[in-house]
Every structure is written in structure tokens, then in C-alpha cells.
Amino acid sequence: MINIKAIITNDFKGEFLEVLEIKKGMTEEEINSIVNKALRMMTLKEKVAAMSGNNFYLLMLKDLKFGVRAYPGGGVPRLNFPPFYFTDGPRGVIIPGSTCFPVSMARGASWDVLLEEKVGEIIGKEARAHGANLFGGVCINLLRHPAWGRAQETYGEDSFHIGEFGAALVRGVQKHNVMATVKHFALNSIEFSRFKVNIQVNERTLREVYLPHFRKCVEEECATVMSAYNKVRGEYCGHNSYLLRDILKGEWNFKGFIHSDWMYGLKDTIKGIRGGLDVEMPRAKYYGRKLRRAVKKGKVPQDLLDDAVGRILRTVLKFTTKEDPQTYSPDLIGCSDHILLAREVAEKSMVLLKNQDDNLPFSTEEINTLAVIGALANMKNTGDHGSSHVRQRNIATPLEGIKDHVKNKVKVIYNNAIDIDVAQQIAQSVDAVVIVVGYTYKDEGEYIPRMSRGYGDRINLGLKERDGILIDAVSKVNKKCVVVLVGGSAILMEKWKENVPSIIMAWYSGMEGGHALADIIFGKVNPSGKLPFTIPEDPAHLPYFNIKDDEIEYDYYHGYTLFEKKNVEPEFPFGFGLSYTKFSYKNMEVESNKEKITVKVEISNVGPIAGEEIAQLYVGFENSAIDRPLKLLRGFKRIALNPNETKTISLDLAKKDLAWYNPNNKAWELESIEYTIYIGSSSKNEDLLTKKINI
Ligand code: BGC
């Protein structure tokens, strides 16, 4: 792409200075040396110009739409330093035509990190084919409460699990020389108040619960980090020197650049640059002219400016000069191979929550007539319409998926359930029923002032009242039914769960979701997803959440750690999901050496058909001298097994992952105690084998 010998003259004095040669395949030293030279040659105006997005409003005026192209920023035209081109995600590249994957929460339910890396690779390829080189879609905020509007953009409630997925997406995207942005740093888990809410958090909670997944992505060498809109301990994240300078750039030695979240992410020129924010997106409002003035007045030291510009130039150069593994022609965008992967992800992410008396799978041999009921069955419903909206028209709805699957073997009758009596009559007249209910972008998503219809966050944690009435009406007259839930996080189902034999959590399942769903309902695919969060019976069991508060405390416990600590039974535990076959665990072994603990276990498929199981490894801290969770996830593995097949899996657990953060010593400390190691099919103790180990 770039191979330019730039003879550089200083524009102002006209004197010959130096030759900067930017070429493919440069080493880190060569990049550093060029950037250092450039920093000496750049004018203040050029430096400041490299620290923001460019021409955003001009481009918006031209397109009259957001997201239809990549947005430039950074760059030094006189020195031939290339800009970055930002596009968003995470359910694919948002620019029209891209492959639309299931949302991240669904992907989290696949527990398949290798698959996530493949998703990342496709996103990387399509970004490049669109002319983008910065992907702002690695969203890894922790799901603290299911009402969070953007829950669908992250992977779940557990920091370890989110970190594995975030790192995998970074790896995949960056293979194609696209910079991955990890966002929103940090503690951004409420939508409506996101521009102002102040998150109070103690040091242990910050270090152990809300930051480790970010650290994992930094260790994966993510190119950039996006600061969050909210405040942490009284300071906006875009200015928060404790988060940005001390932790991210200091302790974690993050080498890339930090850019603001868009529009309202930076509120003050001097606080921003002092706080550690390198790039203001999507345009210069507090940087640009204001920053120049502040530097001239001596309010901002040159070295802070040079540090920021150096990071931007080095990072962009590193990615734009690396040899590409392939070429990126536009016909890659939304191509058939990519669509196939979207289907595989949808298949592996759907979670079978209930299946009484093997009600599913339905058989086309036994069913002659099938009713598909509910407006969502016939809707292209891939999730939020905010910044993560992938513009893809070719979407298989549940109804289309089912029709394509059964062809002319089964008569399919669709009813939108506007009239519940009619829906009930139809249900009574057929052999089996699929009810599709849940949410759309109108119920949950990103809160964008003046654009969002609602508040972003969910108002209701259960289904809409009408959906509940529909389920009751249909299940009363036809017991051969399945409820398919569409949504981005936990949906409470206490009111109707007992009335139906089967429930599938289908998520916003992307452009191939309808096909994947049909394959699961009719048994072509054996369901294998597991919940990446806990589903409570009662909202009172969840942490405090109020979208109107200006300040909120994030506690140490949430999700399964909270349920276990309080000894409350959830409706469905973290890590839970059924299959059409059965797996058994035996012969657990635990060994340890200086660095790690290795856990082995035999898993057998003891049921009638092939299937995939997700084994989960937890560590228990009941002997701790301090207050710690009863147990924490520390490993997982997906494994395919034929009927009667047994495989031994082995999972390594780094001893450092047993440590706790001691705020008094400002250090991670490993307790020398007896730990319990658990391995099994969900976080529920009854589903786990255990062994004790002394460290
Ligand atoms: C969102 C970010 C997104 C950005 C640009 C913001 O409102 O919070 O997640 O990357 O818009 O699309």
C-alpha cells in the first residue's frame, strides 16, 4: 500500500531536512526511528491535527447517514503518514453489505474462542475490503445487570470469559492488519445515564472484576482502546488519568493509542491530554485549535503531546506497513464463505434451556402441519440499530429458515399473533407450534439522545405482557410447542416457564439465524450453547440498577458470584445449556507445578447422537482468609463427541489466576491455602466434579 520515499522540507523555512522512507515490512526499530524523526519535523498544527478524527461532519453531510463508510483520523499528509479509517462493530463491520454475525452475547454463549477468532478474521478481511483499518467493535464491558441496553454487544457476566473472547476477536481482526479498538474503558454498563453517571468502585472490585478482561486484550496487543463516556470515581473516563495513564499506559504498558468515545467522550482540553487521551473522535472539538492554544500558552507540556502523537503514528504505521497475508477485494464482503461461518456461529450459540420429555427435536416424519407464531418470527431482527448496526439486507428470519428446512414435507402456517384468539385456534389445529417472542432494537440498545426511541436500557426484564398471554394461550391447546426467545441478555421466564415443554434462547442470531434455528428445532444440529450469564427467578436477586441515578456503586459481587454468595437459586445458572444427547464426567485429575495447575477429566457422550459439550473449570476459595467468591470460572473447552465416545480433556490454569488484589499492598497476592478445583457442565455445584489442591 505504502512505499513512498518522502523528501521532506520544512514548509516554513523551506530548508532541506531529511528523507523519511515509509515502506512495507519495517521493523519496530525502523518505525520508532521514523516516528521520532517525524516528531522533530512536525509543526504544532500537524501534531494536533493527528490527534483527532477528520472531516466527520463533511462526510456525514455527504452521506446523510452514519456508518456507511470508514471515518478517517490521525495521519500527517505532508510526511506521508497514513490516516486511520474507523469502522464499528461488533456483530460484523457496520458498513453496508458486510456479513452480519450473531451478536457478541450469542457468541459468548458458544464458548468457542477459536470460532470467535475466525469471526474476527472475517471482520478484519471485510474491514480491509471496505477500506477501513481500525475496527471499533471489541466491546468487552461486563454485564452487571441484564437491563443494560447494550448487553448484546458484550460477551457475558464473567470477566475471565469476556477476556478470552475479547482477546480472540483482537487476534482475528489484527491478523489482517486492522487495528482493534477495545471499548469502553471502563465500567460502562448502563446506557441511559452513560454520558454522566459516576461509577463508584473500590479498588479490589475494579481490579478483580471490571479490569482483568481489558488487561487480557492489552496483553494480546490490541492497537487501541476507546475510553468510556461515564465517570469513574468522579472523573470522566476520557480524562481519567488513574485509568488511562496510571493503569493502562503505566502498569499495563499499553503501547497503542487511546481514543475517545464519540461525541461526548471528551469534555475538557487540558484534562483530556493530561488524563492520557490521545485522539478525540470523531472530530476536533476540545483538541484541534483549543489544544494548540493550550500548548502555546504552556498549559500542556510538549512531551505529553509528543507521547500522544508518537503513539498514534507508531501504531498506524505498524499496521499499515506490515505485509498483508492476502489481498482484500470487495467481493469478500458478505461472500458465501463468510455467511457459512455466520451460520455456524448461530448454530453453536443457541441455548436449549428446557426440553421436557425430549419434546425437541421435531421430526418432519411425524409432523404434517406446523404453526409459526409471533411477529418476531417474520422479522429481520438482528439487534440494535445504534453504532453496532450491520447494514445487511439478506437475513434469514425464523419463518424463512423453517420453510427452507421443511420444504414441502410439512405445511407451515404463519400467524403474527396480533389476535391471540386466532393464534390459539391455529395452534389447536396443527401438529406442532414454534412461538417466537422477545425483543427488538426498540426494546433494548444503545441510547443516542434525540435518536433512540426509548432509553436504551430495558424497562422490562421479562417478556411483554402480550407475549406471556400468547404463550399461555398456545401452550394450553398444543403441548408440542417450543418457545424461541430473541434478545441480548437474560429474559425472566418464571411466569410461563412451567407451561411449555421447550425453550430455546436464540439471541439476535445474525443473517443466518433463521436457518440455524430451524436446524436445531428439527435436529439437524444438536444444540450446544450455554448461558454466559445467570438468569434469575426474581429481579430482586440482581444488583441494584437504576438508569436515572447520577451515581452508582458497582459492588464486588454480581452474576453467579452474587447468587452463590447469597445462596440463592437462579432460574438457570451461568454456564447452563442442554443438548439432545447426554454427557458424563469422570476420573478427574489435578496436578500442579510452579506456574500452573493442570486439570484432566474424561468426558463421555452417553446419549444417542453426536454432540458438543462445553466443559467449565472453576476454582473455589472457601478457605480464603479474606472475603472471596465461592468460586470463579478459570477455564473452559468445547469438545465434540460421537455417541459412546470418551475423550480426556486437559485444561491449564495459571497460578497467577488464583490471586486476589490486595489494595493495601497495591499488589496481586496468591494465598497459600487449599483451593477447590471444579470441572463439569455448568456453574451449578451438582454439575461439577471437585478435587482439593494445596498451593
Ligand atoms: C458508541 C461507541 C461507538 C461510537 C462510534 C458511540 O456512541 O458508544 O461504542 O464505537 O459511537 O460508532
Taking all residues of the chain, what is their mean pLDDT, rounded to a whole number?
Answer: 96
Per-residue pLDDT of 295-347, as tens digits, reads: 999 999 999 999 999 999 999 999 999 999 999 999 999 999 999 999 999 99
CATH of domain 46-325: 3.20.20.300
* pLDDT band, residue 11 (cuts 50/70/90): very low
Task: Calculate mean pLDDT across residues 415-420.
Answer: 98
Question: C-alpha distances in angstroms, 662 versus 40, 627, 659, 666?
Answer: 43, 12, 9, 6
Between the CA of 67 and the centroid of ligand 1 the distance, in Å, is: 10
Atom of ligand 1 nearest to the CA of 194: 8
C-alpha cell at 498: 412451567
**Helices of type H across 297-409:** 302-321, 336-349, 398-406
Per-residue pLDDT of 363-400, as tens digits, reads: 999 999 999 999 999 999 999 999 999 999 999 999 99
Task: Estimate the crossing angle of helix 28-41 against helix 302-321, to 10 degrees.
Answer: 140
* pLDDT band, residue 17 (cuts 50/70/90): low
Residue extent(s) of CATH 3.40.50.1700 domains in the chain: 338-566
The pLDDT value recorded for residue 18 is: 64
Cβ neighbors of 180 (< 8 A, separation 6 or more) are 120, 135, 138, 169, 170, 173, 174, 217, 222, 223, 224
Whether 217 contacts 184, CB under 8 Å: no
19 pLDDT more than 90: no
First-to-last C-alpha distance (Å) of the chain: 53
Task: Calculate mean pLDDT across residues 641-654.
Answer: 98
Task: Calculate mean pLDDT across residues 410-438.
Answer: 98
Ligand 1 close to Cβ of residue 150 (< 6 A)? no
Per-residue pLDDT of 266-284, as tens digits, reads: 999 999 999 999 999 999 9
* pLDDT band, residue 203 (cuts 50/70/90): very high
Task: Calculate mean pLDDT across residues 235-245.
Answer: 98
608 pLDDT more than 80: yes
Atom of ligand 1 nearest to the CA of 183: 9
Ligand 1 close to Cβ of residue 265 (< 6 A)? no
CA-nearest of 647, 542, 640 to 603 is 647
Ligand 1 close to Cβ of residue 278 (< 6 A)? no
577 pLDDT more than 90: yes
Ligand 1 close to Cβ of residue 136 (< 6 A)? yes
Rounded Cα distance between 295 and 662, Å, is 39
Per-residue pLDDT of 60-72, as tens digits, reads: 999 999 999 999 9
The pLDDT value recorded for residue 472 is: 97
* pLDDT band, residue 453 (cuts 50/70/90): low
The pLDDT value recorded for residue 14 is: 42
Between the CA of 333 and the centroid of ligand 1 the distance, in Å, is: 22
Whether 437 contacts 485, CB under 8 Å: yes
* Residue owning the nearest CA to atom 4 of ligand 1: 262
The SS3 call for residue 240 is coil
Length of the chain in residues, anyone? Answer: 695
Cβ neighbors of 454 (< 8 A, separation 6 or more) are 442, 443
Rounded Cα distance between 47 and 132, Å, is 22
* Residue owning the nearest CA to atom 3 of ligand 1: 387
Rounded Cα distance between 143 and 140, Å, is 9
Whether 276 contacts 310, CB under 8 Å: no
Torsion of CA 401, 405, 408, 410, to 10 degrees: -90
Pick the CATH number of 583-694 from 3.30.413.10, 2.60.40.10, 3.20.20.70, 3.30.565.10: 2.60.40.10
The pLDDT value recorded for residue 495 is: 86
Residue type, 160: F
Whether 334 contacts 99, CB under 8 Å: yes
675 pLDDT more than 50: yes
C-alpha cell at 247: 493503569
Whether 225 contacts 181, CB under 8 Å: yes
Whether 591 contacts 598, CB under 8 Å: yes
C-alpha cell at 401: 429458515
The pLDDT value recorded for residue 204 is: 98
Atom of ligand 1 nearest to the CA of 94: 12
535 pLDDT more than 50: yes
The pLDDT value recorded for residue 13 is: 45
The SS3 call for residue 661 is strand
Residue extent(s) of CATH 2.60.40.10 domains in the chain: 583-694
Rounded Cα distance between 224 and 136, Å, is 9
Task: Calculate mean pLDDT across residues 463-479.
Answer: 97
Ligand 1 close to Cβ of residue 88 (< 6 A)? yes
Residue extent(s) of CATH 3.20.20.300 domains in the chain: 46-325
CA-nearest of 51, 489, 85, 657 to 309 is 51
4 pLDDT more than 60: no
Ligand 1 close to Cβ of residue 66 (< 6 A)? no
Ligand 1 close to Cβ of residue 153 (< 6 A)? no
Whether 670 contacts 646, CB under 8 Å: no
Q: Rg of the chain over CA atoms, in angstroms?
A: 26
Question: C-alpha distances in angstroms, 468 versus 231, 257, 432, 437, 491?
Answer: 38, 48, 19, 9, 12
Atom of ligand 1 nearest to the CA of 282: 5
463 pLDDT more than 80: yes
- For cell 458424563, the residue is 584
- pLDDT cut 70: percent of the chain above it: 97
Per-residue pLDDT of 143-197, as tens digits, reads: 999 999 999 999 999 999 999 999 999 999 999 999 999 999 999 999 999 999 9
- pLDDT cut 90: percent of the chain above it: 95
The pLDDT value recorded for residue 24 is: 95
Rounded Cα distance between 77 and 490, Å, is 48
Between the CA of 52 and the centroid of ligand 1 the distance, in Å, is: 15
The pLDDT value recorded for residue 15 is: 43
Pick the CATH number of 338-566 from 3.40.50.300, 2.40.30.10, 3.40.50.1700, 3.30.460.80: 3.40.50.1700
Catalytic residues: 261
Cβ neighbors of 679 (< 8 A, separation 6 or more) are 585, 588, 599, 601, 615, 616, 617, 618, 651, 688, 689
* Residue owning the nearest CA to atom 8 of ligand 1: 261
Ligand 1 close to Cβ of residue 261 (< 6 A)? yes
> Could you tell which of 446, 447, 450 is best to mutate to test the pocket of ligand 1, judged by most ligand atoms within 8 Å of the CB?
446
Rounded Cα distance between 363 and 499, Å, is 22
Question: C-alpha distances in angstroms, 302 versus 175, 240, 297, 400, 421?
Answer: 34, 20, 11, 60, 72
C-alpha cell at 459: 424497562
Between the CA of 319 and the centroid of ligand 1 the distance, in Å, is: 22
Rounded Cα distance between 446 and 457, Å, is 8
Look at the pTM and tell me if it is higher than 0.95.
Answer: yes
DSSP letter at 242 equals I
Between the CA of 301 and the centroid of ligand 1 the distance, in Å, is: 30
Between the CA of 89 and the centroid of ligand 1 the distance, in Å, is: 9
Task: Calculate mean pLDDT across residues 22-46.
Answer: 96
Between the CA of 534 and the centroid of ligand 1 the distance, in Å, is: 27
Ligand 1 close to Cβ of residue 631 (< 6 A)? no
CA-nearest of 350, 367, 668 to 532 is 350
* Residue owning the nearest CA to atom 12 of ligand 1: 387
* Residue owning the nearest CA to atom 6 of ligand 1: 262
Q: Alpha carbon 590 to chain centroid distance? A: 32
* pLDDT band, residue 494 (cuts 50/70/90): confident
Comparing 185-189, 254-258, 457-461, 540-544, which segment has the lowest mean pLDDT?
Answer: 457-461
2 pLDDT more than 60: no
